[in-house]
Amino acid sequence: MADIEEIKKNRKWAHSYLLEKKSEVYAKFLEMEKATYKDGAISRKSKELIAVGISVVINCESCMQWHVEQSLINGATESEVIEAIEVGIEMGGGPATAHARLALSVLDKYLNKKDSD
């Protein structure tokens, strides 16, 4: 399991690098991301929680870090994030229980951040 801060650092580096190189594909991806996560029939918070569950199923550590953080920023409670993780566990079966460990670590880190700041 990767370090959460290292995941964030690598994502920010790659983001800046692709913007600096004027990646057309990455720019289109960012447009799609913006359109996907805006409030619509489903709220942004709900969409982020869906992404948490999917991230667990596909075992995308960077996705888990990002979408747990974004869920909290968009008003999700600890219980809501845990339930989204649980949906991922159910959909992914046994392997997803192992994948969920990072999502739980991210949730714990952000909820306890207040104590360490």
**pLDDT value of position 1:** 57
pTM of the model: 0.86
pLDDT of residue 114: 56
Give me the helices (H) in the chain, please.
Answer: 4-20, 24-37, 44-58, 61-73, 78-92, 94-111, 113-116
**d(C-alpha 38, C-alpha 23), whole Å:** 23
Distance CA 91, CA 73 (A): 25
- pLDDT tens for 29-86 read 999 999 999 999 999 999 999 999 999 999 999 999 999 999 999 999 999 999 999 9
Fold of 4-116: AhpD-like (1.20.1290)
Residues 29, 37: Cα–Cα separation, whole Å: 12
* pLDDT at residue 116 greater than cutoff 90: no
Share of residues in the chain with pLDDT > 70 (%): 95
Query: The tokens 């709220």 sit on which residue?
Result: 43
pLDDT at 117: 47
Q: What is the mean pLDDT of the chain?
A: 93
